[in-house]
Structure 1
């Protein structure tokens, strides 16, 4: 099949290049486009102008931006990735700058205006890897009772004999002294686990793992989406994996990376991100151009596929991340489109879509939220992550979006069919990766400068 041979040549060429200069695959190869958000080492080349207004807008004020001290023995600094918070501590992942291995940085937020770095972990487990995503939850199983951290591990150089991909498990019941418990390994020839989520089902702890391109690189022996039982963190076990071919609209057209969409287009299909609702009953899986897939995971060994979001024929899919709102009846889907000019598609950077999912078998589109960056497309040099939406978080009726050069954008979703921007935080040279709501604070992570703590001026709840 011509298409399959072409895809293979593209992906293999990237892998061959990675043998010389360690790097990671882009989220969507788009043929000859390979853009990875963390590959640049000089962030001064971001050309998106600072948006009008100050970084203190309406109810968002920056109260802390701690200097990220260099903690590596070689004296080099990493770039930064996602942010999470648990019991008054912030956990900041690291990206690929200077060869990765930056681990997870832990900050005490007892005084949110003066965060204190108290620990670093998962930084010396495997060479030439990066630790982007960390989720921390209180876990109570027959094998472990405490606070458990799961950390994604991705490989910069799969040829290194000691490099591995997957995710690490750490006991952070005492965040000042994290203790390694176990490791779940994906196939050696894959990228590793990109994003993940930890949830509880009764007395069972499970991880939803997103390991992009695993279907392709292992020829279906392992899958992009896997459910792993981590009830015993020292002995994680894969209990289920998803084969996209089980869906009638995919079937045998899926070659491990592309599929023949019902709209007549050949679209990329891989698992980028995972999450679960607070009950642990439902999982929301971002499968790029297949949309956001919804599963009933009450029995993690036998999940039930319920439905998915779909795209208009002129839309690039790029389902990147998701979150839910209004008691699980609303789904927020962010789309990371960084190549806005493609034949057969609308010209736009990635924006947010909001769905009614009262009937999870049939998500219904309510609205689309776009910004001034969405259609700001220059004739040249228009491939950039700086203008696309990235990650979503919801607190009450407020949606918070990390937006790279747009910083953090707060959106009123009281009327989900009419989302309205209500505040924006855009620091100088913004390149904001992640956002997380912690008590009355909004945490942000900037790829270049690390942790930011934002305060809502008013103390009222959303």
Structure 2
């Protein structure tokens, strides 16, 4: 395994057309995640930076055994951890239907794959995102998993999109509870989030283009009560036309923004703070929208992030820091050369949201991958993807750029402190737990990083 500080070679993308899933599907760029040439790393295992990050090392990169009856392997999606188990979603390779892979991390240096679920429920679909929470409602007590379900093709009469609900109280034996279905006119639920409000369990679903394809019959952002996981119930939908800056003739995608540009708008992802009160919704070029969902049947829109006129918006994902007073927004810009905009791949922005009605930009964090020149290739390899925070450290998944660690002690001055780049890196997700950092690679699956706290491990990464 090659762990690299430096990037060498060219980051490029296959020019072959592909059905775009979940990013800007209605734009004129047809590429898919994972469809690119691998860069060539250098075989120098190094982690730069300070603090305890110099003691970080790769403890495990288990070979993802083939679990499909047809003997074919899937590509991989996001990663989540709950009570010592890792949950790895799957992507579209070989027709999807890979489900969620479950690993016992009792010994993080030797993860044991113990179960696969949501892989045979609905034909013609893929299961990228999984969130697991402990839930106690009048109808269910235990550990509940919600799994995104997306159609490979809307023309498949047997496929459906939405999300599945599973009881994973015993992760070795997941049990299906229910399914929530979104209009078949869209691909399905892309990213989602599960939160708990007292004795209620609520899912926030991002259903890209549901508004556009259903002509407003369903919306991109829906809130679903899953307190009874066998009978999920939609309780609210968001219509962007309710915002004063969005014209009433908004068609569900094209937004005539105040800066005079026509910008794409669709819901890419959702997340909720630890209190279950505030929701953060990534609506691409409309920015990150903030809602008070204390009463989930009647959310209150509070405010949103904005962009400079020369920035592609592409608000992809969000997370919080500093007790919920700092918002981190990642922007998945993979087509860096666009008339009227700066030449740049996606980078991270950090906001002060003490006043949620008026987010204030504090800083922007770019890497050596960000800058682009005329003729730069269209590629996911060089854009940032998902953010996570632990304490004063921001963790970013960055495709070919691996996992980046950023000191945000001063959010106005973010400083990169390290990066982990496995061989042929294509890092989709990152998740931070108390004892380990997990990453998921589209091509090779689960990675486990540990802190050795100065012990003499052979894989220790030196400064």
Residue of structure 1 in register with 2:382 after alignment: 387
1:158 matched to 2:149 = no
Residues 305-320 of structure 1 aligned to structure 2 (within 5 Å): 305-320=301-316
Change (3 A) 1:205 1:34: same
Residue aligned with 1:215, SS:
helix
Shift of residue 248, structure 1, vs aligned partner: 0.5
Unmatched tracts of structure 1, length 5 or more = 1-20
Please name the residue that 1:436 is paired with: 431
CA distance in 2, matches of 1:176, 1:145: 17
Cα distance in 2 between the residues matched to 1:34 and 1:239: 34
1:54 paired residue among 8, 27, 45: 45
Tell me the number of residue pairs that the alignment of Structure 1 and Structure 2 aligns. Answer: 433
Change in 2 beyond 3 A, CA 1:279/1:99:
same
Deviation by residue 1:251-279 (Cα, 9 ceiling, x = unmatched): 22421111000011000000000000011
Give the alignment partner of residue 248 of structure 1, picking from 237, 244, 247: 244
SS in 1 for 2:158: coil
After the TM superposition, list the runs of 4 or more consecutive aligned residues in structure 1 that deviate by more than 6 angstroms. none
1:139-189, CA deviations, whole angstroms, 9 ceiling, x for partnerless residues? 000000000000000000222222110000000000000000000000112
Query: Is contact 1:293-1:307 (8 Å) kept?
Result: yes
The Cα shift of 1:59 comes to 3.4
Partner SS state of residue 267, structure 2: coil
Match of 1:227 in 2: 223
Partner residue of 2:203? Answer: 207
Matches within 5 A, 1:7-156: 23-25=19-21, 27-29=23-25, 31-38=27-34, 40=35, 45-46=37-38, 48-50=39-41, 53-54=44-45, 56-57=47-48, 58-156=54-152
Indicate the residue corresponding to 1:454 in structure 2.
449
Quick check: 2:438–2:447 contact (8 Å CA) kept in 1? yes
1:275 to 235, 251, 271: 271
1:55 & 1:445 partners in 2: Cα distance? 20
Structure 2, unpaired ranges of 5+: 1-16, 49-53, 455-463
Q: Which residue of 1 aligns with 2:298?
A: 302
Higher helix proportion: 1
Superposition pairs of residues 313-328 of structure 1, within 5 angstroms = 313-328=309-324
2:136 and 2:230 map into 1 onto residues whose CA distance is 14
Structure 2: distance between partners of 1:87 and 1:32: 43
Tell me the residue number matched to 1:14.
Answer: none
* TM-score w.r.t. length of structure 1: 0.91
Shift in CA distance, 22/372, structure 1 to aligned 2, threshold 3 Å:
closer
Contact 1:137–1:148, Cα closer than 8 Å, also in 2: yes
Q: Is the 8 A contact 1:435 1:442 kept in 2?
A: yes
Q: CA RMSD in A?
A: 1.5
Return the structure number with greater relative CO, CA threshold 8 A, min gap 6.
Answer: 2
Q: What CA distance in whole angstroms lies between the structure 2 residues aligned with 1:284 and 1:84?
A: 19
